[in-house]
A = this chain, B = another copy of it.
Amino acid sequence: MSRIPSSGLERIVFFSDAVMAIAITLLILEVRLPAGAASPDVGRQVLALWPKYLGYFVSFWVIALYWVAHHRCFQHIRAYDRGLINLNFLFLLFIAFMPFPTGLLFGHPTQVASVTLYAGTAAGMGLSLGLLWTYAVRRRFIVPGFSRRKIRDIRLNLFLPPLVFALTIGIAFLDTTVAVYAWLLLVPVYVFRRLRERSLALRP
């Protein structure tokens, strides 16, 4: 199949933005008082919802980080074909799925099912976007003159988080609390990558 000129790319990016915007905004629907809450208890119940606020906050930033990653990839992509569209839909499938594992994890935080489903969804986002980038590079959809080092850097940025999430799925079967704390490994990884980028003066 021949490559399509970049004119349709705008519609793909637009559609992706809309899906990410909706998924990020639907997260709030998981935060609710229990039905039939009586007024005198409202203060206590609002405080008791803290795991839900945390869930809203964490998943909001997870989607936000992937929006930035998607943004960076598509800044350098200049053509597309059906394969790229399919990989982009695979990425969006995981994004739009996010409200479910978010509700699950922050409703039942110590359950193996919650931790593995959340880690699996987050890993799926990174993996599918990483595949999309690899595919775009192989099909020569990237702007000409984009350096190999930057291409490799973006790829590493995309594949590192799913690797960490996949590892913690294994850990979750032994101890769910350790698995969740293991996600914090992503913070030093992220900080290190960002510092390295700055020193290389890579554009975000």
Binding site for B on A (CB under 8 A): 1-2, 4, 8, 11, 13-15, 17-29, 31-33, 37, 39, 42-43, 46-47, 56-57, 60-61, 64, 67-68, 71, 75, 81-82, 85, 89, 92-93, 96-100, 103-104, 107-108, 110-114, 117, 197-198, 201, 203-204
Is A108 a contact of B28 with CB atoms below 8 Å? no
Is B31 a contact of A100 with CB atoms below 8 Å? yes
Copies in the complex: 4
**How far is it, in angstroms, between the C-alpha of A31 and the C-alpha of B15 when the chains are bound?**
23
Is B28 a contact of A21 with CB atoms below 8 Å? no
- Residue from the list B13, B18, B82, B93 in contact with A68, Cβ < 8 A: B82
**How far is it, in angstroms, between the C-alpha of A75 and the C-alpha of B39 when the chains are bound?**
44
Is B96 a contact of A15 with CB atoms below 8 Å? no
- Which among A14, A25, A204 has the highest number of chain B CB atoms within 10 Å? A25
Provide the residues of chain B in CB contact with A11, threshold 8 Å: 13, 17, 71
Provide the residues of chain B in CB contact with A89, threshold 8 Å: 60-61, 64
- Residue from the list B29, B39, B114 in contact with A29, Cβ < 8 A: B29
